[in-house]
Amino acid sequence: MALVEPGPTGVKTAAEAVAAVDHPPADRSSRQLGVLFWFAAGWILLLVICAVFRDLLPFRDPDALGIRTREVRKFEDPSWNAWFGGDGQGRDQFARVVQGARPALIIGITVTLIGGFIGSAIGVTSGYLRGKVDTATTVVIDIFLAFPGLVLLIAVRASFGNSMLVFIVLFSITSIPGYARIVRGASFALSERDFVDAAEAMGATKRRVLWKELAPNVAIPVLSFAFIGFALVIVAEGGLAFIGLSLDEVTWGKLIAEGTGDIKDHAHVSLIPATVMFLTILAFNLAGDSIRRLYSPREVATQRRLRVEGIADVNPDGSVLHISDLYTTLHTPAGDVHAVDGVSLSVRAGQALGVVGESGSGKTMILRSIVGAFALSDVTRSGTVEVAGVDMLRAPRGQVLRTLGTEIGMVSQNPLTALNPVRRIESQIIEPMMVHRGTSKAQARERALELLRLVGIPAPERRLREYPHQLSGGMRQRVTIAIALANEPKLLLADEPTTALDVTVQDQILRLLSGLQQEREMAMVLVTHDLAVVKGFTDSVAIVYGGQVVEYGPTSEIFANPRHRYTVALMQSMPDLDLPSHSELITIDGSPPSLLRPTPGCRFAARCPAAQDVCHSLTPAASERDDHWFRCHFPAEITPVSVGAPADSEAD
Amino acid sequence: MAGTGNGHLREDALLQVDELVVEFPARRKQVVHAVSGVSFDLAKGETLGIVGESGCGKTTTGRAVMRLERVTSGSVRLNGADLTALDGEGLRQARRAMQMIFQDPVSSLNPSRRVRDIVREGVDIWGSERPNIDDWVAEVLDSVGLGDEGVLDRRPHEFSGGQCQRINIARALVMEPDVLILDEPVSALDVSVQAQILNLLEGLKTKFGLTMMFISHDLAVVKNISDRVMVMYLGKVCEISNTHDLYANPTHPYSRALLASIPGHTLDLPPAGELISGELPSPLDPPSGCRFRTRCPRATELCGTEEPVLNEVEPDHWVACHHPE
């Protein structure tokens, strides 16, 4: 399965790549376009048929008057005889509306093509070249957009007459700035992506970069906008027709305008072409939106829903965090993602648990399952998650929220996004205390100062008045730790707390977290992709693979005697500072398993050097000895595998 | 540290970077001192690791060598020809000989193009002396572990991060570059995939006789891949040495602090907290003298007034410090 599917214009970062696991991309072909798209497509097809073949179709002569044809009377109501009725002169309104499809499409298509092409060319050049070219283009676009285009149209049309050519030229010119603007924005963002640098580094000329690298990627947003632009042209034509500046041809705008005089008694004469115009505009807008959505997978709307199944079991030893037989399933358009697949873990007060896994292993989903935060997803959880005696899956909402606010502290990967950029540090620290514990403002402020000192922030009085952007990455992470500690939680959840930080800062933050956790007798869950991080800072470790815990036990024991083949492979694939340069690393072939379609048997079987037939068919039972738990048919022998050093030299 | 000096440069180097300075304009007429007089060289077939934390100038150095950043002063010589003097068409021609791999393997590939076109891009631009380009592209793809026929017609989103990085490497190798610059090429990858890519690069180095500049923040990764290592801090070189000596005998206080900060390391070093304090100063107004002095426990008055110069403490091991270990 492809881990990452970038949208054509969206900037894809490593963090997003990880997040993509929550919203696995479906194949484009299988992604649903929806009923609305098919309505839009059907309507547009119908229009095209009418426009192209109108003379071949067995409709009445649109110009023939009812007197002569003896078929349609003046202002005849719509009936089986004349579907859309007759107009004020007894002409068949249906034939006239069909007649209007051709000018609508000719104008719409030519204006969209000319405006779209010229506008895009200007936009992509300006967004890529930047500098003076860009500044000048932007100013010109802004002037154009500020200029009342309709007034210009009226003025010019009044002097140049009603030919379709004049109309097309004028409309094309006025539509250029719109295209130029969106394409410029898209190109600007695209040209910051590495593939543009890569092409330049390879010696590609500017023209080549524009054509080969940027143009194909702006094609989709342009196409999407073109449909909406098309609709705008039809609206504009209607508006002009209404003030008597229509074309010589029969257009919908003209039909509407003609009928308005008699709208009181014979509403259908105006209303029917108006409805056709409305449906056409709607169809083009819907088609444009569908195209955009098709290429921005993140917009695929899933209903936000959080369900719970099954019954809770008991927490035998009064652990602060007790997770038992937890299953978390994300219902996505691509199918059910089995993100957490039968996980049991527990952490007692004063203990730290490391949860280690690669991207897509489900380690972050375990954390999210504890707090019930799944962004925009439809999720079902079953099993037990108990925090400080509260059933987080089934307790009343108020109690769950209270537990989240007072018993759980969270430290996330990116301190900059965890903090609100427009609020001072002070308000962000004191708010949770005032909300959840009813502390007075003065007391909360005192405590905020105390907390900042505790997490090692110099000059805390000054820092309280500052905003997050004024702090370094390490200082921001200290602030989020201070916020997490504000209500003296019993459980601290840290999700990759040092991944975004430099190595010297990482060391400081880990020591700080670990020190506070022990001093305050908190239970801590430290989620990380880096085995080395958990080594000195946790009491127990759970290795996660394919949504399951594959090995679980005391940290020193796991590092000394890893049994599951995945754990062993993970340890061996880390470059070792004790080995000489150019040592060949032991790798894990293949890629992580799909959580969308889990394979039977052991999840690691496909990549495991020791796998045999049974591994592919039968899920291994759990083996346990002295708190060391693992699931493997053919576990590694008990011989120390070196990762850095023997674990006991580091253990606290 | 904050070292300058070019005594360590070798005569027969393939790539020679001498007193490279890169400055960016900032608001209120200030200047970001991103790279401030960095000198290093690469011998043919050698891998130089460049390590340091964010803000040390390692990425800017790589991009400046590639001329993706404007060089304020100093020179970059490839096979004796000065690239810094080139512009426009001359620069475009010179870039043929150097290729770059970026940190984000997915963002480096144009999502709307097929692998065939991406990997061929270089020969499409430049042509190739090889008689059959399709065979050559297939051979290179096979060398990076993507020999499967079906690969050519697929688009980047159908591949994992590790596979995307293989495609990036193939695109660079098709050009048969003299120098390959890799900017954090494995940082976005999982540990197991990272090991695959490192082994791959090691194999390609032998097969294609690659000369590599490997930029990374991860000291364990750098140790694995490099023949020589350069440690940078705030736009300056602290220490440059053959890999073995740097890790066995780190001499600059900042190198020692970096190594001591690695979680779970077993090196004979005091705790990191005793080797480094405080925060990275602003590159808008770097400290006088040695740039590391504001965080260095060994700093003296001398460090504030006089900038240390790279000095050879043992053969092929150069350190810019007034008070080395």
- pLDDT computed for residue B167 by the predictor: 95
- pLDDT computed for residue B265 by the predictor: 87
Looking at the complex, report in whole angstroms how far the Cα of residue B108 sits from the nearest Cα belonging to chain A.
Answer: 4
Query: Which of A8, A205, A580 faces B112 most closely, judged by CB atoms?
Result: A8
Mark yes or no for CB contact B96/A529 under 8 Å.
no
Looking at the complex, report in whole angstroms how far the Cα of residue B304 sits from the nearest Cα belonging to chain A.
Answer: 23
Would an 8 Å CB–CB cutoff place A650 in contact with chain B? yes
Looking at the complex, report in whole angstroms how far the Cα of residue B114 sits from the nearest Cα belonging to chain A.
Answer: 12
Mark yes or no for CB contact A508/B160 under 8 Å.
no
For A264-290, what is the mean pLDDT? 87
**Rounded distance, CA B285 to CA B300, Å?**
20
For A261-275, what is the mean pLDDT? 81
For A24-44, what is the mean pLDDT? 69
Question: Which residues, 6+ apart, have CB-to-CB distance to A280 below 8 Å?
Answer: A43, A44, A47, A104, A231, A234, A252
pLDDT band at residue B43 under the 50/70/90 scheme: very high
Residues of B in Cβ contact (< 8 Å) with A14 = 104, 187-188
Residues of A in Cβ contact (< 8 Å) with B173 = none
Interchain CB contacts (distance < 8 Å): A and B: 211
- pLDDT computed for residue A19 by the predictor: 36
More confident residue, A262 or B152: B152
Q: What's the mean pLDDT when you consider all of chain A? A: 83
Query: Which of B93, B157, B223 faces A575 most closely, judged by CB atoms?
Result: B223
Would an 8 Å CB–CB cutoff place A591 in contact with chain B? yes
Secondary structure element (H or E) that encloses residue B119, with its range? helix B115-126
Would an 8 Å CB–CB cutoff place A134 in contact with chain B? no
| Dihedral sign computed on CA atoms, order B100, B103, B105, B108 | negative
Q: How many percent of chain B have pLDDT more than 90?
A: 66
More confident residue, A189 or A296: A189
pLDDT band at residue A644 under the 50/70/90 scheme: very low
Q: Which of A130, A187, A195 to mutate to test the interface with B (most CBs of B within 10 A)?
A: A195
Strands B15-25 and A491-495: unpaired
3-state helix, strand, coil in chain B (%, to 5): 35, 20, 45
Contact A479, A429 (CB under 8 A): yes
**pLDDT one-digit tens code per residue, A402-446:** 999 899 999 988 877 788 888 999 999 998 888 888 889 999 999
**pLDDT one-digit tens code per residue, A579-636:** 899 999 888 887 788 888 888 899 999 999 899 999 999 989 888 888 899 999 999 8
**Rounded to two decimals, what is the model's pTM?**
0.82
Q: Which of B59, B107, B176 to mutate to test the interface with A (most CBs of A within 10 A)?
A: B107
**pLDDT one-digit tens code per residue, A105-140:** 999 999 999 999 999 999 999 999 888 888 999 898
**pLDDT one-digit tens code per residue, B2-23:** 456 777 888 889 999 999 999 9
pLDDT band at residue A646 under the 50/70/90 scheme: very low
Kindly list the distances between the CA atom of residue A640 and the CA atoms of A551, A556, A561, A576, A637, in Å, as whole numbers in the listed order: 16, 11, 6, 15, 9
Query: Which of A12, A14, A644 faces B265 most closely, judged by CB atoms?
Result: A644
Looking at the complex, report in whole angstroms how far the Cα of residue B261 sits from the nearest Cα belonging to chain A.
Answer: 5
- pLDDT computed for residue A5 by the predictor: 32
Six-digit token pair at A546? 């394919």
**pLDDT one-digit tens code per residue, A481-519:** 999 988 889 999 999 998 888 888 888 889 999 999 999
- pLDDT computed for residue A64 by the predictor: 65
**Rounded distance, CA A522 to CA A481, Å?**
13
- pLDDT computed for residue B2 by the predictor: 45
Question: Per-residue pLDDT for B223 more than 60?
Answer: yes
Q: Which of A363, A581, A591 to mutate to test the interface with B (most CBs of B within 10 A)?
A: A581
pLDDT band at residue A539 under the 50/70/90 scheme: very high
Mark yes or no for CB contact A574/B98 under 8 Å.
no
| Dihedral sign computed on CA atoms, order A238, A240, A241, A243 | positive
Radius of gyration of the CA atoms of chain A, in A: 33
Would an 8 Å CB–CB cutoff place A504 in contact with chain B? yes
Query: Which of B110, B159, B257 faces A2 most closely, judged by CB atoms?
Result: B159
Kindly list the distances between the CA atom of residue B58 and the CA atoms of A245, B63, B214, B267, in Å, as whole numbers in the listed order: 65, 9, 10, 24
- pLDDT computed for residue A13 by the predictor: 32
| Dihedral sign computed on CA atoms, order A270, A273, A275, A277 | negative
Residues of B in Cβ contact (< 8 Å) with A358 = 190-192
